[in-house]
Chain A
Amino acid sequence: MEQKCYIYSPDDSDERASKRRRIACAAGWSLREQLYGEFWAPLEHRIQTQSTLEEADSTTLEKIIKFVSGAVVAPDRQEAVIPTGLILAGSSIASHRSFFDRLGRKIVLDTGSTFVLLTSGECLNLKALVKSLIKKLTSRVGGNDDEEDEEDEEDENHTGNVSRIGPKLRDYDLVRLQEWYSKTKVDSIVVAIQDSEAFDFSVLAEMAELLSSWMDRLPFLLLFGIATSSESFQSNLSGAALRLLKGEEFNVTQADDIFEKIFCTTVGSPEVSLYLGPDLSRRLVDRQKDHVQSVQDFSDAVKYAYMCHFYANPLSVFLSQSLAFGEMPHDVWEATRNLPSFRRWVNTLLEDGRAKEVRRLLESDRYLYDNIKHHIASGQTAMFKLVSATSVLAAIRVIVQKVPHVPRSSLYIRSTSGELNGSPLIREMLLMLSKVSSDTFSSVLTSMELLQNSYVPIDIAVYRRELDALIKRNPNSTPLRSQHDVKNNSLRTTIVAQKVQLSKHKSTLSELDSSYSELVRRFHDDVENYFEETLIDPRDLFLSEILLYDLKSPLSEVFAPKPRFAIERALSSPHDYLGCDCCSSSEGALSGTQPVTAILYQLYLESGSIINVNDLWMAFHAIIGEENDESESNAMALFEQALANLKFLGLVKESKRKADHISKTTWKGL
């Protein structure tokens, strides 16, 4: 029998452990492990600084705080209306909690108010709501002070309970709160309802009524977290309750947007040194949107991708900038020569008739090393340019109006899969760019100036100077227009020989306008060339396997396992796992050589929702008996073992419907 819990001591299976010692990957791995550290640490740091999400929704927080501090009125007011903030926190409920936590901290810090967060779980009815409200508030002040107070109170209640407050107060009596309030004198009591949709709306209405009746004594302020819309929230509350609330609406940055920001500054940033490929990034983004929606998970996934790259790909040592030829592990050269991208590259070399070079590549490790070094550097530059171009594209698209919004992450995915060059997205953007008026153009230039750490070969400053000069010469306040702008054309209808002629006429452009048009055209051409040059398909690069990590295999299984599928597969076709000779012949069919639980499982699959155990045993015995001439009791032992296994896995349970029957609980593949 196994022990319950114990501390491992090695003598248990010492010789076995030593047998397992492996030396194979040792040499390269320590190098790569070190590299992994160098590569991952800055990225992790960046995710972490970025994910101090405060930055992302700080404006909303500011607004709410302004509202809270603005709502503070003299405590002796007579109005019974509660100031209310409706916080539209978006549909991703998972992020609400953290938002309200931050909000609470900030409110307590920046204003003279206290903050209570109520969730639907603790407020099943009004009594429970008020109880937890009072409890949370009165225990807030913290420390021993509070406890003493309470004890004092208890004492008072105990000794002279009739004299001062009358009978002992119930723990849901707001008089308690009033007492507490008179001691602390906060500006206002902010009551936040985190998940308003999950509340019983009659409870919310009752709460509004109750709190408003106390407004002359206690300065309440309500904040509702709303996942749907303020309209649906209003329609759920009764009119009487609504009249007691004086609302203001706040929009919180959605989790999607926050994620988008984090994606841009981390994975989609040009400066990273290992790029994630399009398939993997798409998976990450989809998973983030559909399932997890937490920055931690995203960070974990990216981290694991890095780990996989460096752990499983021995060639990743080439990413190191400092390693000399002699320090490289020996096996990498042969491995490099087997890379698909190496073959592709060599083929193009051969087509160019550079057979000598190819021969040298195949024969000399040293020569290969130099080439790899060179290509890694050039590949990294190409990747850098590519991702920079993506951010330029995104920046211009944001400013040039009238183009549909495409998230940055999807731009990244498209660019790394090489789809972007010449795509409608680019053409559309270029078209709009040729039509911009001078003020928009100016902001395009500004945003491109702001793009740091990106590769932009266009000399923005020159354009800026010329534009400034033009604007200076512009006598009126209207912005300069480009000649391609449709607004400058007017349609003229003329009747010539009884036929209507529609003709476009360029409205006369001023001399200024035409020189501006010239400027825009030049810029447009520059940008076009720039995209043409940078938007390559990174997978065509030599050594793209090293520069780009794009394997979905370990990542998806490791984070989203399919345990049920694994077990069903193991039991229904054990050969997949065992790879034995005896069971392979019967593909998908029963055979007596399979593991006993697998046999029983397949019989189980064939039966209905309740199973007669005796019949099952007969069938089992027939199959087992065929192959190995087992005695009945031995077969029975195997049967019992298999049955107990099925039960342990939760596939069957006892049935009371009939004697000696068990009921089936799972269906394969569901």
Chain B
Amino acid sequence: MKRKLTKDEPRTPTRKRTRASAPDEEEENGVIPAVETPSRRTRGQHSLSEDIRHEKVNGVKDSVLNGVNEHGTPKSLRKVLFSTPTKPRDEESANGTPTIVRNADRSARRKSTRRLIERTINGDESDEGEDEEALVEQILGEEGEDEEERDGLEDIDQEGEPAPETPSKRGRGRPKTKPRKQHSPTPPQNLPAHEEYFWQNRPGGTKTSNNIMSSRILLAYDEYRDAIKAYKDPHAAEEEFLLELHSRSFDQWIFELQEGFNICLYGYGSKRPLTKMFAAHLYEHLSNKPPYSTSKQKPKIVIINGFWRGIRSFITIKDILTTVASSVFPPNTKFSSQPATLLTSILTYLNENPPPRPLPIILNSIDFPALRRSPIPSILAQLSAHSSINLICTADTPNFPLLWDLGQRAQFRFLFHDATTFAPYDAEIDVVDSVNQLLGRSGMKLSGRDGVSHVLRSLPVNARLVFRILVTEQLALFAIDGTADSGADEGEEPDFATTATPRHETNPASRKGESTAAIGVDYYGAYRKAVEELACTSEVGFRQLLKEFFDHQMIESRKDVAGKERLLVPFRREELEEMKNELTNEEDF
């Protein structure tokens, strides 16, 4: 149970006013009484008594106070209606209701009141969000949020706080404790790591604004490419120096490889340039050693890019093993395509015909998702455990050692070296793709809505019809979401699930963290609609129509919790609406 006390310092609201806009404070002030705890009543706040009596008489305390002290906008009235009952004080219980009775219904009332308040505050925040300055601050832990967040921790301490002097200046009914005053961009400074974790994960701790990234601002492929090309890295010289620093260890690495260890490089930045340089160095080193120095034979160094990405494929263990096999086996040997058998044949061949020098394999990004799946690490471990194989690999993620169990780790015989380069992950990441994916806009692949309409134009009428049905249905779902979210007024997003309020009960969907619209349209529902509208006659036909959309990644297929198939048009609501308009307009003509 949260107990909130008002204990005011005249300074704070003033300070606040400089930062937040006036109406905000208005609202905040209006809100205060609701948050107050009964405990306050017992403390005779004589300095307040005058005001309080005044309130009593008027019935609407804060609005009046506000009116007196500040702007007195009627806006605050709205909330105050609900907050009144929680306020009355024992000393002057004018309404004559027995305390017990009031106590009994207080909790329920307070609940509903608080819900309202929370809504209001959140609403405010989203308003604030339009202001850029405020936004920046908000991210840095703006005070408005700050205070919100602190509530939970502070209101316990507040019991003992001295009484406020003027209720009129209450800033959100939250008393200030010492640390509060020293405002800093980050809420609590210098917390130990675990405390910070709990701090940031506390219930209700994650209040973020509802701002949405405008699609226009995100870059398309070519825009990104141009922009990055134009960008000059101010640290290029330092990065070059880092690279040079690492390259001084090349001889050491060669010595380590020679002694039967394998090498794993980690640290921030792409290590591809480094391994490339190392390959060159190693090549030269090997060329000067027998048997390469005495014969025409050239040293072989296998280079594998674990991050390799095809159109819709990634590198496979088969690719790796075949490349290794091609450099191990004499030319024109036929080998199995089965990874396990290929591995054993490589190992037995190496056992029987050990090469004069171990074969170096340079593997970039050993921890790339495509190489994490089950048999691959163990195959790589077995391969590198062989004394005729030298593995030099790089790992990018911070927790990569967890990929291997004790046995594999022993097989790898890794020596780890920190090779932080700060080099951009040019080849490793497709920036635009991965940002779009991160923001749930896989539809952006088509360079957005325009691309979609381009595709649609080239499709037959019934295909367009089907797409319109999907879009409409999904928009309907958005609408349902909107209303299902109790009182999600002012177009608020359906989920503030994290605020730890009674709102949890009202919207299970948001509690799960996923709105129905995000799951998509029921497949059979959509099919039936399509049949009704004569877009197709059979399911096969429907599938065929959908296939085109799948190919262009205009829709996605998912399974919901019950295992039913759902179709999702991966665009945001506004874009969907525009598409729908476009499609209906087309039909009209």
Is A495 part of the contact surface with B, judged by Cβ < 8 Å? no
A370: Cβ under 8 A from any B Cβ: no
- Kindly provide the distance from the CB of B357 to the nearest chain A CB, expressed in whole angstroms: 14
In the docked arrangement, what's the CA distance between A559 and B251, Å?
19
Q: Is B115 an interface residue (CB 8 A)?
A: no
Whether B572 pairs with A650 at a CB distance below 8 angstroms is: no
- In the bound complex, residues from chain B placing their C-beta under 8 Å from that of A643 are 435, 438
Question: Chain B residues with Cβ under 8 A from A651's Cβ?
Answer: 398
Assess the B303–A656 pair: CB atoms within 8 A: no
| CB of A194, distance to nearest CB on chain B (Å) | 14
Residues 123-155 of B contacting A (Cβ, < 8 Å): 129, 132, 135-136, 138-141
* Contact yes or no, A16 B435, CB < 8 A: no
Quick one: closest A residue to B255, CB to CB? A311
Q: Which residue of B lies closest to A564 (CB)?
A: B398
**Which of B308, B396, B401 meets A561, CB within 8 Å?**
B401
- Chain B interface, number of residues (Cβ within 8 angstroms): 121
Determine if B209 and A615 form an interchain contact, defined as CB atoms under 8 angstroms apart. yes
In the complex, which residues of chain B have a beta carbon less than 8 angstroms from the beta carbon of A617?
Answer: 213, 217
Cβ-neighbour of A648 out of B192, B218, B235, B434 (below 8 A)? B434
Q: Once the chains bind, are B415 and A567 in contact (CB under 8 Å)? A: no
Query: By the criterion CB–CB under 8 Å, are B219 and A636 in contact?
Result: yes
Q: Which residues of A sit under 8 angstroms from B201, Cβ to Cβ?
A: 608-609
Task: Name the residue on B nearest A643 (C-beta).
Answer: B435
Contacts A7-B327, A634-B231 given: A619-B136 contact, CB under 8 Å? yes
- B427 touching A13 by the CB < 8 A rule? no
Alpha-carbon gap, A641 to B305, bound state (A)? 20
Q: How many A-B residue pairs have CB under 8 A?
A: 313
Does the CB pair B211–A614 fall under 8 Å? yes
Is B416 within 8 A of A618, CB to CB?
no
Is B438 a contact partner of A5 (Cβ separation < 8 A)? no
Closest partner residue, chain B, to A581 (CB atom): B238
Choose among A564, A566, A657 the residue that contacts B513 (Cβ–Cβ < 8 A): A657
Among A618, A632, A658, the residue within 8 A (CB) of B210 is A658
Check: B399 CB closer than 8 A to any chain A CB.
yes
A8 lies within 8 A of B303 (CB): yes
Contact pattern, A 641-670, Cβ under 8 Å of B = 1, otherwise 0: 101110111111111111111101011111
Which residues does chain B contribute within 8 Å of A670, judged by CB atoms? 193-194, 197
Q: Which of chain B's residues has its CB closest to A669's CB?
A: B193
What residue in chain B is nearest A594 (Cβ atoms)? Answer: B235
A561 touches B418 (CB 8 A): yes
The answer, yes or no, to whether A1 is at the interface (CB within 8 Å) is yes
Q: Are B429 and A648 in contact (CB under 8 A)?
A: yes
Chain A residues contacting B227 (CB-CB under 8 Å) are 633-634, 636-638
Q: Is the C-beta of B373 less than 8 angstroms from some C-beta in chain A? A: no
Dominant SS at the A interface? helix
Check if B186 is an interface residue, CB within 8 A of chain A. yes
Which residue of B has the minimal Cβ distance to A619?
A: B139
Check B283 against A648 for contact (C-beta < 8 Å): no
- Residues A563 and B572 in contact, CB atoms below 8 Å apart: no
8 Å CB interface, B228-281 against A: 228, 230-231, 233-235, 237-239, 241-242, 247-248, 250-252, 255-256, 259, 261, 264, 266-269, 272, 276-277, 279-281
Known: A307-B256, A558-B416, A570-B268. A640 touches B224 (CB 8 A): yes
**Bound complex: CA of A576 vs CA of B303, how far in Å?**
31
Given contacts A606-B140, A644-B430, 16 further A-B contacts (CB under 8 A): A5-B319, A18-B284, A94-B406, A307-B255, A307-B256, A577-B242, A608-B201, A632-B217, A634-B227, A640-B431, A640-B435, A644-B431, A644-B435, A645-B424, A658-B493, A669-B193
A residues contacting B by CB (< 8 A) are: 1-8, 10, 12-14, 16-18, 20-22, 25, 29, 33, 94, 292, 294, 296-297, 300, 303-304, 307, 311, 557-559, 561, 563-564, 566-568, 570-571, 574, 577-580, 582, 593, 595, 597, 603, 606-619, 622, 628, 632-634, 636-638, 640-641, 643-645, 647-662, 664, 666-670
7 pairs, CB–CB < 8 Å, chain A vs chain B:
A303-B259, A566-B268, A634-B231, A644-B438, A650-B397, A659-B493, A661-B208
Closest 8 CB pairs of A and B: A669-B193, A637-B227, A17-B280, A561-B416, A564-B398, A570-B268, A8-B301, A5-B323
